[in-house]
Structure 1
Amino acid sequence: MKIYTKTGDAGQTGLFGGDRVTKTHPRLEAYGALDELNAHLGLAIVSCSEENAKYLKEVQSRLFDIGSHLATPSSATKAKTILPPLEIECIEIMEKKIDELEDDLPPMKNFILPGGNELAARLHVARAVCRRAERAVVGMKYQTEMHPLIIPYLNRLSDYLFVLSRAAVIQAGDEEIPWIPNSPKC
């Protein structure tokens, strides 16, 4: 099977179930942002510990699951029957991982600038893209029905990526970069 179909050359694409929409449709903005997030996670994974890489790969698969939900309109009843399940346990596991990471981090005394080391910077980029994806999904929510766990999952994922970026700095023996309000050197 060829990767190109030429069916999108006029600026439209197909959803699960057969509907066609423009490539600027909010649904495509949402799962396109998830795709970008997934690519940034892949970039971070290559620098992560084996344990964190394993979990982030699970997150990548979960993002594909979420993308399949977002690509399936409510009118596609047959396609909806084969969607992968989204379960609260995934959010609970992520919350536990956040709590475990936070237990080993110093308390935050001020805002932290993205960076500190290469892995932390990659995780911060992924976090920012995750927040954009969440905003796109929230925008879509007001136009169509969707699974109720998608937004909480993305919200928690951005928290996880923030805490993981802090851990990446601390575990490497590097220093977090504090925000200095009204920096006089600018």
Structure 2
Amino acid sequence: MKIYTRSGDKGSTQIYADKPVRVEKDDAVVQSYGDIDELNSHLGLLASMVAVHLKEDIYTIQRNLFQAGFAISASSTLTQDDVVKLESDIDKMTATLGPQTTFVLPGGSKAAAQSHVCRAVCRRAERAVIVLTKHYDVPAVVPAYLNRLSDYLFTFARFLNAEAGFDEVAV
């Protein structure tokens, strides 16, 4: 299979819903795919920065983001259980951290700073999906997953900083 098809050279692309559909590249669905893809790429960078025992959780999230894309376009295995898993992981990390009493500046260790970048991109992807819901039938689990994922990534940044011995910097 060739990586290039030339079929998108004039500003449209093919997506897969119940059947293949051609849309303009500035369509809300393509914007959502792009933002989710960018988030997935940033998560790949984050995975390259963390200890081995933390990588599999990131890989699971990356796989779930593919499922979010499938949910937007056709079919998906993303479920409310995936949202609950993020909540459980947030609770476990939070239990190891001191209380958060103020807003904190993004940064700290390289991995924590990258987790904050992932969080910000996740928020953008979530906003794009919310726009998409006004034009397409998007399963409710997709925006819920992205919303919880941004919370997870914030908590993960705090966790990574604590693990690396970096103090949080208050706003």
TM (normalized to structure 1)?
Answer: 0.88
The equivalent residue for 2:148 is 156
After superposing on structure 2, the runs of 4+ consecutive aligned residues of structure 1 that deviate more than 3 Å are: none
Separation in 2, partners of 1:135, 1:38: 16
Q: How does 1:80-159 map to 2 (within 5 A)?
A: 80=74, 83-159=75-151
More helix by share: 2
Equivalence map 1:1-186=2 (5 Å): 1-16=1-16, 17-70=19-72, 72=73, 80=74, 83-179=75-171
Larger Rg: 1
2:132 maps to a residue whose letter is M
Q: Is the 2:71–2:78 contact (alpha carbons within 8 Å) kept by the matching residues of 1?
A: no
Contact 2:11 2:24 in 1 (8 A): yes
Would you say how many aligned residue pairs link Structure 1 and Structure 2? 169
SS of 1:113 mapped into structure 2: coil
8 Å Cα contact 2:31/2:128 also seen in 1: yes
One-letter amino acid of the counterpart of residue 67, structure 1: G
Structure 2 residue matching 1:21: 3-state secondary structure: strand
Aligned partners of 2:112 and 2:44: how far apart in 1?
14
What is the percent sequence identity of the aligned residues?
A: 39
Give the deviation of 1:177 after TM superposition.
1.5
**Normalization by structure 2: what TM-score?**
0.96
